[in-house]
Amino acid sequence: MQAKIILKVATKSIMKSRMRSLLTALGIIIGVAAVVVMVAIGDGAQQKVEQSIASLGTNLIIITPGSSNTGGVRGGMGTFSRFTFDDVDKIKNEAMLIKGVSPLVRSGGQVIGGVGNWFTSIQGVSPDYLDIREWPLQSGEFFTDRDVLARAKVCVLGTEVVKNLFPNDDPIGQQIRIRNTPFKVIGVLKEKGQSATGTSNDDVILAPSRTVQDRLSGGRFITSIQVSALSADKIPAAIAELKGIMRESHKIEPGMDDDFTIRDQSDLSEAATETSRILTILLASVAGVSLIVGGIGIMNIMLVSVTERTREIGIRLSVGARASDILIQFLTEAIVLSLSGGVIGVAFSFLVAYLLNNYTDQTAYIKPQIIMIAFGFAGAIGIFFGFYPARKASALNPIDALRYE
């Protein structure tokens, strides 16, 4: 028999009992839709995490000071910094695999200006910092290397700070006081949203690193060094290069431990994506169970159908159908049922994803692969659960089948 005829016969007998076929396929429809939607929600969450990690800057490498070691008592990470502007300059001059480098001098304090006052974090950086973090300006301008060297009292505000100090006015050109030092606002950063850890990226004031060190944080050390690699695939090489430069700069003898730590965001993103991946697997396996239940539904109906259509099988055998023809016919019916259930299920999951994306906070992202996997599963379930009833049908003896009442 030609494939075309087999398909025609299968769809015909499915269409003959529409209600039953629909109910049978419903198990697969719900199963496929559940799997696709659950995975889509997991992927959506993962995408969100990836986005917020990417908001740090995609090629970001952070060098943080190691722990202090005072007479054998080791402090925690960042307890002791020996980083100076010399380290930053050395990196800037010697490293070949980096695009930009900026010191980060972290401080914080009460800021007075505009309509009131606000406590926020103040970061002393160099002009490279905007590039490193992939953070464009919304308006105004950023300070220059000359401003840094001149210890100019200028600053750039994050949108959260603008919202609290200058809700109605343009902050550019205005004076603010950070812990009693007056600063001139020269620019506003574009809104960046939440960071990977859930805090706002925009509640920040950026100022020249040397200004912050002199006026606000004091001392001669800096909190960390932020570097951006030339490209994502050069990150490991850049880290190795930076390690060499830092060891040289800090005069660490071979065999001695580093007094700094170099991290790139892959550590961070791995941890975060791992969490959402586990979530996806969990959701998908729960949904997968419903797909298997749907498959059992198909098997059940096919078994009933074989009993009910025993005479039909007898008639087909008596006019010359082979056992294999009967097997293929019933198997095809099961596969057509489960695949059309898969099609409807995928369509349904697109609807659910659309509703989630547009009417709730939840994001669902349907990857093309997951659709292929869902179809594959639906087809496999059709074959797996359709085979036994089909075998049963094809094993019938024509005379018994014809006599069956």
Which residue, 7 or 371, has its beta carbon nearer to another protein? 7
Minimum Å gap between C-beta 5 and another protein is 6
How far is it, in rounded angstroms, from Cα 320 to Cα 127? 85
Which residue, 254 or 320, has its beta carbon nearer to another protein? 320
- Which distant-in-sequence residues (6+ apart) come within 8 Å of 44 by Cβ? 356, 357, 362, 363, 364, 365
DSSP, res 258: P
Minimum Å gap between C-beta 16 and another protein is 5
Which residue, 1 or 278, has its beta carbon nearer to another protein? 1
**Per-residue CA distances from 92 to 231, 265, 280, 356 (Å):** 17, 21, 42, 47
Which residue, 379 or 398, has its beta carbon nearer to another protein? 398
CA nearest neighbour of 313 among 394, 243, 219, 249: 394
How far is it, in rounded angstroms, from Cα 41 to Cα 32? 14
User: How many alpha carbons fall within 13 Å on the CB side of residue 265?
Assistant: 26
Minimum Å gap between C-beta 22 and another protein is 17
Q: Is 152 helix (H, G, I), strand (E, B) or coil?
A: coil
Minimum Å gap between C-beta 312 and another protein is 6
Residue 150 Ramachandran class (φ > 0 left, ψ -120 to 50 alpha, else beta): alpha
Helical ranges in 55-143 per DSSP H: 85-94, 129-132
**Per-residue CA distances from 344 to 34, 42, 332 (Å):** 12, 21, 18
Which residue, 17 or 47, has its beta carbon nearer to another protein? 17
Minimum Å gap between C-beta 308 and another protein is 11
Minimum Å gap between C-beta 390 and another protein is 17
Point out which residues bind another protein (CB under 8 A): 1, 5, 9, 12, 16, 311-312, 314-325, 397-399, 402
CA nearest neighbour of 272 among 52, 37, 40, 38: 52
Which residue, 134 or 325, has its beta carbon nearer to another protein? 325
Minimum Å gap between C-beta 2 and another protein is 8
Which residue, 54 or 323, has its beta carbon nearer to another protein? 323
Minimum Å gap between C-beta 305 and another protein is 13
Which residue, 12 or 190, has its beta carbon nearer to another protein? 12
Residue 65 Ramachandran class (φ > 0 left, ψ -120 to 50 alpha, else beta): beta
